[in-house]
Amino acid sequence: MRLHHTLPVVGAMTFASLSASAETITVATVNNNDMVIMQSLTDAFEKAHPDITLDWVVLEENVLRQRMTTDIATNGGQFDVMTIGTYEVPIWAERDWLVPLNDLPEEYRVDDLLTSVRDGLSQDGTLHALPFYGESSMMYYRKDLFEQAGIEVPKQPTWEEVRDWAGQLHKPGEETYGICLRGKPGWGENMALVSTMVNTFGGRWFDMEWNPQLDSKAWQEAVSFYVDLLNEYGPPGASSNGFNENLALFSRGNCAMWVDATSAAGKLYSADESQVADKLGFAPAPIAETPKGSHWLWSWALAIPASSDSKAAAKEFITWATSQEYVELVGEQKGWTSVPPGTRESTYANENYQQAAPFADFVLEAMKSADPTDSTLKPSPYTGVQFVGIPEFQSIGTQVGQMVAAALTGERTVEQALQAAQRSTERTVQRAGYLD
Amino acid sequence: MTTPRYKRFLLAVLAWAIALIIFFPILWMALTGFKTEAAAIADPSFVFSPTLESYVAVHARADYLKFALNSVVVAFGSTLLALLIAIPSAYSMAFLPTPRTKGTLLWMLSTKMLPPVGVLMPIYLLFRDTGLLDTLTGLIIVYTLMNLPIVVWMLYTFFKDLPRDILEAGRMDGASTLQEVRHLLLPLTLPGIASTGLLAVILSWNESFWSLNLTSSDAAPLTAYIASFSSPEGLFWAKLSAASTMAIAPILVFGWLTQKQMVRGLTFGAVK
């Protein structure tokens, strides 16, 4: 065999052995805008890390949660990186299901992560997941409608004021509704908002002895207020509206006000996606009795399950996807309103971001002031603003969410709904051994 | 006696109206796939300037062909396997019944009444230990077991309708059981077997619970492909519609081509 014949063969073999040695990691993530961008930047990661190949499993949030819980609880080892929320991290970390992340490289700059977010993803002071993006809640409103009606929004609106404004601006004949709020039942749907309302009305899910407080005066007031507000000044069929439906309604110009996630701001400010981009006003989430727990705190984070066979490669990936360099890469390639918000101080210090996102400082303030460890007026035994950080909360929250939705549709009175919610929550915590 | 013209006309209008109502969601989904995301959430309208941007975006995010190939392998593989197991069992139940046959048939059907999530954990653990997670073989086994009760039931009723004299005549002529099945039973009940097979293919194609829970990337079929475009946070209606249209297109064409056999089979035996 002559040399010039052997060279391509050797070259091909070397290439084949190189690509064969590349480690493939499977990343499970949700189908939210920011994650879709992360997936689209696969090439950038693989170019910088030629020895790692990414395989994606992108699923809808609830399906993904069920899929990942099954896998991690059975030590299935199907995923190397999982996208989980502030709710799951402490619960899973306690069971040693996640790889602790205590030896991160210096250039990762752990101190740059927002303290509230970092605390939410830590167990006994050790990070168990790295934040990909974070959100709080706030109030969006239509500046043009407010100006026409001569309403000035104060620095910190109250729910009472919101009700008055909704009454003035509610014009169902013109398909403009006073207020849009989540009504779709679910712990991450209507209960995210209702829990913040209960907090600010002075209520809590449990007292210090884990007795459910759903039949208390504060719950009664908050839920009655929510039901009346949405029934009188909300869009028709509000009980089936979640984040997406309200985003569609608000961006089409059908809502005068909307209280929901800060992560909607980027989409509402984008003229391609929103018809109200030039008329958008924002304010902190409304308060009632107390400012405590009036706005939620959530972050989507990347974690490595203990069952992964490729922990080192997975760590390479999650430190890349949550780094300052990644934020800059997204800003340059996809536009600065598309960068994942709510994770790093440096994002908010970035001039490009501040210019593109006029809501930046505002969101940062909301994120910093939300305190999951102190979100209720009276003391409570749990952490979490819009959720209770115990494994049983998924079922409790969803059941109570269904009762609240039943009150919203008029199927039950608020009192009946809350009594039923109290009974079912009592049963659940009793069975789980929280009550003596 | 013939049906009066106006009656026939009214019946035709009614049939068209019902067909259109049933078909409308699919039509709307196909149309939405050609809209922009903004147009997809705007007030419903048939007038819009069509664009392929959703198809381009969907194509850029996921390898459609890989998912489609997995769906084809799993749907047809499981159907073949189910037929292979079901034909002998339906034969023995139809032609050589025992006092327990009825009970066995009912017991088989009762397994369909169990919500699949009830056995998710044990099946997941079995699959984990046997290395079947995220494999086409694993999915084929689950789909075969899932469809087996229906396939056996349908074949049983088709076989029962066949006059026993024909098989006895074959036996008199010296045919073995295998020859009897091959040369008499199968050709005579082919429309029934075909429609059973088609139904099993469609059921496997549309199954999403097991495919989402037992696969991750290598063996994920089109149901996982669609699920990756649905989201409670973010508007992806146009992309979801484009992905769904692409996911149902093969089975729609398949159903269209085989509708005659399907209707013939269904009216031939079981559902008279």
Residue B14 lies in a domain: no
pLDDT of residue A260: 96
Distance from CA of B61 to the nearest CA of A (A): 7
Residue B64 lies in a domain: yes
Tally of domains within chain B: 1
Residue B45 lies in a domain: no
Would you call A175 an interface residue with chain B, using a CB distance cutoff of 8 Å? no
Cross-chain Cβ contact B230/A60 below 8 Å:
yes
Residue B42 lies in a domain: no
**Whole-number average pLDDT of chain B:** 88
Residue B37 lies in a domain: no
Tell me how far apart the alpha carbons of residues A26 and A57 are, in angstroms, rounded to a whole number.
7
pLDDT tens sequence across A212-245:
999 999 999 999 999 999 999 999 999 989 888 8
Residue B116 lies in a domain: yes
Over residues B46-59, mean pLDDT: 87
Return the residue of A nearest to B38 by Cα. A273
Q: Whole domain around residue B100: which residue ranges? A: 55-268
Residue B22 lies in a domain: no
CATH architecture assigned to A21-135+297-360: 3-Layer(aba) Sandwich (3.40)
> What are the start and end residues of each CATH 3.40.190.10 domain in chain A?
21-135+297-360, 137-296+372-431
pTM listed for this prediction: 0.82
How many beta carbons lie within 10 A of that of residue B244, not counting itself?
21
Residue B261 lies in a domain: yes
Distance from CA of B41 to the nearest CA of A (A): 6
How many beta carbons lie within 10 A of that of residue B86, not counting itself?
25
Least confident of A12-21, A45-54, B238-247: A12-21
Would you call A12 an interface residue with chain B, using a CB distance cutoff of 8 Å? no
Would you call B60 an interface residue with chain A, using a CB distance cutoff of 8 Å? yes
Tell me how far apart the alpha carbons of residues B43 and B39 are, in angstroms, rounded to a whole number.
8
Would you call A126 an interface residue with chain B, using a CB distance cutoff of 8 Å? no
pLDDT tens sequence across A24-73:
999 999 888 889 899 999 999 999 999 999 999 988 877 888 899 899 98
In CATH, what number is assigned to the domain containing residue B140? 1.10.3720.10
| Among the partner residues B60, B220, B229, nearest to A31 by beta-carbon distance | B229
Domain boundaries A137-296+372-431, CATH class? alpha beta
Tell me how far apart the alpha carbons of residues A90 and B52 are, in angstroms, rounded to a whole number.
44
Least confident of A6-10, A246-250, A360-364, B118-122: A6-10
Over residues A148-162, mean pLDDT: 96
The ipTM is: 0.78
